[in-house]
């Protein structure tokens, strides 16, 4: 059971849905487009969770818990009072969110510069200077890390060219994304996804020639 959504940032977002902690994190963002995308992503993740819970999005309370130290001011987000994992991501102009019964991770990125350090030697050889390939590989790693399946500090050790069955890709013009649902049988088929329409293409392989 999962809901996955990618959506453009457009229109008005009700920031009153955000917790005080989320609003203070938003306030630390300097640029208006980044603040808007932050709010949009936090609204979208509530919509995903609400769709699974049959609740109102504004009633969904998101909190954080670190898998390593148990700290509650950082770490993976979850829904308070429900056995539901969530993940969200924002880049300028696009947001993404997933809600699932098991740990999950999602990422959306503008196609652009990806530091060599984020990629393995084999990935660097394969992607070359292809910004789409490089950004998608990075996005897959971010999604894996958020799902607790990869170590952010060791991205160069992970080769994610081959499509792990748990990884799904998404792409739009100049933007790529990926999501991972760590559950045993649930890879977040588009059939399970929400209503943006953007997810219709979500499971298609983006990387032509993936080994």
In the complex, the residues that contact Zn ion under the rule CB under 5 A are 66, 68-69, 71
- Match 């509530």 to its residue by tokens: 46
Is the CB of 46 or the CB of 146 nearer to Zn ion? Answer: 146
The CB-of-122 to Zn ion minimum distance in angstroms stands at 31
| Helix runs in 98-191, H state only | 121-127, 131-146
Match 């670190």 to its residue by tokens. Answer: 66
Rounded CA-CA distance 13/73 in Å is: 24
Shortest distance (Å) from residue 72 CB to Zn ion: 9
CB closer to Zn ion out of 59 and 73: 73
> Minimum distance from CB of 144 to Zn ion (Å)?
18
The nearer residue to Zn ion, 144 or 178, going by C-beta atoms, is 144
164: how many CB neighbours lie within 10 A of its CB? Answer: 13
Residue, CB closest to Zn ion: 66
DSSP letter string over 161-183?
-S--TTEEEEEETTEEEEEEE-S
Q: Between 67 and 92, whose beta carbon lies closer to Zn ion?
A: 67
* CB of residue 146 to Zn ion, shortest distance in Å: 14
């Amino acid at each position: 059971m999962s809901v996955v959504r990618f959506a453009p940032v457009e229109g008005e977002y009700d920031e009153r849905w955000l917790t005080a902690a989320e609003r203070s994190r938003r306030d630390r963002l300097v640029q208006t487009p980044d603040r808007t995308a932050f709010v949009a992503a936090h609204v979208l993740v509530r919509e995903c969770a609400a769709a699974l819970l049959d609740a109102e999005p504004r009633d969904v309370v998101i909190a954080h818990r670190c898998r390593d130290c148990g700290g509650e001011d950082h770490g993976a987000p979850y829904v308070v009072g429900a056995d539901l994992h969530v993940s969200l991501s924002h880049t300028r102009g696009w947001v993404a969110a997933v809600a699932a019964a098991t740990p999950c991770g999602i990422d959306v990125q503008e196609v652009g510069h990806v530091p060599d350090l984020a990629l393995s030697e084999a990935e660097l050889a394969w992607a070359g200077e292809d910004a789409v390939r490089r950004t998608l590989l990075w996005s897959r790693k971010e999604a894996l890390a958020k799902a607790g399946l990869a170590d952010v500090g060791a991205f160069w050790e992970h080769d994610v060219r081959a499509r792990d069955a748990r990884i799904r890709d998404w792409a739009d013009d100049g933007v790529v994304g990926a999501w991972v649902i760590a559950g045993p049988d649930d890879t977040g088929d588009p059939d399970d996804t929400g209503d943006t329409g953007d997810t219709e293409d979500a499971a298609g392989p983006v990387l032509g020639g993936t080994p």
